[in-house]
Structure 1
Amino acid sequence: MQPYLAMATVCDFSVPGGENFVAGNGVFCQNTYGLCMDPKDGRVVSAFIVQALRGEPLTVFGDGSQTRSFCYVDDLIEGIRRLMEVDYPYPVNLGNPEEYRVLELAQLVKELTGSPSPIVFRPLPEDDPKQRRPDISLARRLLGWEPRVPVREGLMRTIAYFREVMGDR
C-alpha cells in the first residue's frame, strides 16, 4: 500500500471542541457549518445560534477581533465530491477564504435570529488562533471549486434548522 492511501478515509470527522477535520483523500475541511449540526457541539456558529435562540448572552472570547472563515456544508460536500473524481493524492484545503471577526459573527447571528441577547466578553484562551483562513487556491485550480453559499444565507438556513430541532424557540 502506498503511504498516501492511508489518507483516503475519514481520519477525524468530528473533533470534540474542534472546527476542522480531515476527510476523503486528504481534504482539510475548515470551519464547516450547516444543517444537521449538533446544537451542543460547542463550535462558534452553533454556540452563538443556540445562545441567541434561547435569549442567553452570546459569549465572545477576547475582544472578538480574531478571524474565522465559515464554509456551508453543501459547499464542502461538493468540494469533496469533486476531489474524489480526480487523481490527486495530497491534501487539499476546502473552506471559505472570506474572513469574519468573531464579534461580527455574533452580531450577524443576533440580527438574523432577532435576538435581544447581549454580547458578553470572556478572556481569550491562550491557544486561540488569531486568524483562520484557508488557502483554497489549489482547490480552485485542481477542482474548479470554491464556496458558493454566502455566509449570511448559510446562517439563515442553519438558524431555521436549529429552530426546528430546538422546538422553535
Structure 2
Amino acid sequence: MPDSILITGARGRVGRAIQMTYGSTWPLRLLSRTASPDGSVESLDTLLTGNAPLEADLLIHAAWSCVPANAEEHPEQIGQIDLPLLDRLIARLQKESRPPVLLFISTGAVYGLAPSRGNREDDTPYPLGVYAKGKLAAEERLRASGLPVCILRVGNLYGLPSSPEDRQGVTARLVRCALANQPFQRWGDDPIKDYLHSDDFFAALTRVRELRLTGTWNVGSGNATPLSHLVELVEKETGHPVPILSRPGPAWDVYDNRLDVTHFTTATGWQPAVTLAEGVAREVAALREL
C-alpha cells in the first residue's frame, strides 16, 4: 500500500480543492481542527497526540486561521493559533524515523513590494502585513526544524471553489460583480499581482511529491498583471462592464507583487500552462453554472 499524503486544513478552500483534484488518485488522509460528522476528515489532535508511525511521504500544511484582511483585524490570531499549531506539528514529525516532506503553503507577499522585477528566492523578505509576517515566521520555524521541508511562496491563487462571502479571491469577486452588475471595490490605484491558476498550482504539488522536493520556492505565473487588465478580461468574457469603486489601498497591501519562478521551473520542469485569459474564462463558466 502506498504511503499516504496528509493534508491539514482539509475543510478549507485549498484543502477541499486538493481533495477534488487528487481524491481519486492519491491516498489522502484528511485532517482539520474539527473532524467532519461523517468521519472523512479526522481531528488534527488524532495526528498530533498519536505515536504510531505515520507512513506518509508528504504532509501538505494548508491549515491557517486567517486571510490578509482579517489578519489585520485580529493580529493576535496567528500567534495564538497558527504558530502554536505549527510548533506541535513539527514536534510530532520530529518523532518519525522517516518523516514525510512537510510542504508549507506560504505566500509571495513575504517579499513585500517587488523591486521593479519578479522577486527571487534569495531576495530579503520585507513583509508589510500581519498575514505575511506570520507566514514568514512559520517559514523560519520550519527551516530550523531539521525536517525535510518544502516551502512554496505562492502567487495570487485563483480558480478555487469560492463563495460570495470569501474575503480573498479577486478574480471570482470581479466575475460575480460583472454577472450581477454590482460595483467592485478596488483598493489602491492599479495594483500589480501575479495570478496563478489552481490547475498550475496542483501541477506544482505533483512535482514536489514526485521529486520529494525540499527548499524554498516561488510558484506563480511569472507574469505581472495590473488589475485594470484583469478587469478588461472579465468584462470581455462576461460581456458586462464592471462598475468600479476606488478606495485608498491599506498600508499592508502588497500592491506590486511579482514572482520570478525560474528557480522552480529549472529544478522541476514545471511550467505554468493556464493563461490568465483562459483562467478567467473558466471562472466565468463555473460561476455562471451556479
TM band (smaller chain): 0.7 to 0.9
Structure 1 residue aligned with 2:182: 56
- The aligned runs of 1:26-41 (5 Å cut-off) are 26-41=151-166
TM-score (norm 1): 0.81
Structure 1 residue aligned with 2:288: 163
Structure 2 residue aligned with 1:22: 105
2:243 partner amino acid: P
The CA deviation string for residues 141-162 of structure 1, in whole angstroms up to 9 with x for no partner, is: 1111120111000110011101
Matched, 1:133 2:269: no
1:22 partner amino acid: I
Matched, 1:146 2:271: yes
Q: 1:122 to 1:132 in 2, by over 3 A?
A: same
Q: 1:59 to 1:83 in 2, by over 3 A?
A: same
1:89 partner amino acid: T
SS of the residue corresponding to residue 145 of structure 1 reads coil
Matched, 1:9 2:92: no
Residues 231 and 242, structure 2, Cα contact 8 Å, conserved in 1: no
Q: How much is the aligned-residue C-alpha RMSD, in angstroms?
A: 2.3
Structure 1 residue 88: deviation in Å?
2.8
Query: What is the CA–CA distance in structure 2 between the aligned matches of 1:106 and 1:15, rounded to whole Å?
Result: 26
Residues matched between the structures, number: 156
Query: What is the CA–CA distance in structure 1 between the aligned matches of 2:64 and 2:175, rounded to whole Å?
Result: 22
Q: 1:45 to 1:141 in 2, by over 3 A?
A: same
Structure 1 residue aligned with 2:27: none
- Percent identity, aligned pairs only, is 28
Deviates more, 1:113-122 or 1:78-87: 113-122
Structure 1 residue 33: deviation in Å?
0.9
Structure 1 residue 14: deviation in Å?
7.5
Residues 13 and 22, structure 1, Cα contact 8 Å, conserved in 2: no
Q: Tell which has more relative contact order, 1 or 2 (C-alpha 8 A, sep 6+).
A: 1
Q: Which runs of 5+ in 2 are unaligned?
A: 1-57, 70-103, 107-148
Structure 2 residue aligned with 1:3: none
1:73 to 198, 207, 210: 198
Structure 1 residue 35: deviation in Å?
4.7
Structure 1 residue 77: deviation in Å?
0.5
Query: What is the CA–CA distance in structure 1 between the aligned matches of 2:206 and 2:213, rounded to whole Å?
Result: 13
Between structure 1 and structure 2, the one with the greater Rg is: 2
SS of the residue corresponding to residue 27 of structure 1 reads strand
Structure 1 residue aligned with 2:172: 46
Q: Which runs of 5+ in 1 are unaligned?
A: 1-6
1:140 partner amino acid: T
Matched, 1:86 2:169: no
Hey, which bits of structure 1, 4+ residues long, moved more than 6 A?
none
